[in-house]
Amino acid sequence: MSAPVQMQVSLGPLRLRNPVVAASGTFGYGDEFAPFVDLNRLGGFVVKGLSLQPRQGNPYPRTCETPSGMLNSIGIQNIGIDAFLNDRLPRLKDLKAAVIANLYAESVEDFAALAERAGGAPGLAAVELNLSCPNTPMGGMLFGTDEKLTEQIVREVRRRTGLPLIVKLTPNVTRIERIGEAAARGGADILSVVNTFLGMAIDVETRRPMLATGSGGLSGPAIRPLAVHLVRQVARGAGLPVMGMGGIQCAADAVEFLLAGATAVQVGTANFYNPSATVEIVDGLEDYCRRHRVGDIRRLIGAVEENPPPG
């Protein structure tokens, strides 16, 4: 019998039992998936974006399928940080998987206030700043496309919490590595790469947009090659460990992100049509490592061969 594969990874101060994390906005607050997934088998999960006050989100329709993907314009619908900390987090605090809070705000002050409330909560492993949501009129990409604002927000949040600090980057910029560098200067520990791409779909029969807001965020397999490219850019340029995401459906997809330089991956859209996707990817990664005689999954990180084989 072959020796077990070493699956643990470290992203700065954040240690994960394996590199597979469920992405924010696709996994509820975690406990909703407990009937379908053994949460303790995951490296972690990121809960729905949390704001200071509950949010209703955008009007319907706010999701639609596209070729090899989906568009969404949910608009950060959530129960609010206090309800999560008081009512939902206690159910999760004994899990082996890392519980990560995704934080959304429309001002520097509100981001800082969120971080302060989350900072001392028992059971939270890290916080992820959502500086990249394309589906809100304020905050979101208004912050994440500006180097100075990104650095300012991250610096202020860093002052308010000692938890590992993840910053989620938008792909809707010209030089994503510069935004990552700004987050690093502000005190970020980890970068999540990438959030959704701006997109639009139109019903040609009615001549109306498929989403009530007109445009939304594109996710799913259609964006994977774009996301892999951006992960490689950020992993090389920003100087921080990366959680890669964008269209991951299976273990081979996750390996692609690891080879490009990600230390861990987040699985998003796949959770909507296959609630067991995350644990299947954990199993698939172990199988891949055994087949390729990789005893420690960390050996895959950034291990892409740059030159094509001769001939």
Q: Which residues have a catalytic role annotated? A: 133
Tell me the one-letter amino acid at 305: E
d(CA 215, CA 282): 33
Cα-trace Rg, the chain: 18
d(CA 52, CA 1): 52
What region does 64 belong to: left with phi over 0, alpha with psi -120 to 50, or beta? beta
Nearest to 258 by CA among 226, 220, 231: 231
Structure tokens at 72: 């969404």
Q: Do 29 and 88 form a contact (C-beta atoms < 8 A)?
A: yes
Strands 126-130 and 165-168: parallel
Structure tokens at 63: 């999701």
Number of H helices and number of E strands within the chain? 9, 16
215 Cβ contact partners less than 8 Å away, ≥ 6 residues apart:
71, 73, 134, 198, 199, 200, 209
Q: Do 59 and 80 form a contact (C-beta atoms < 8 A)?
A: no
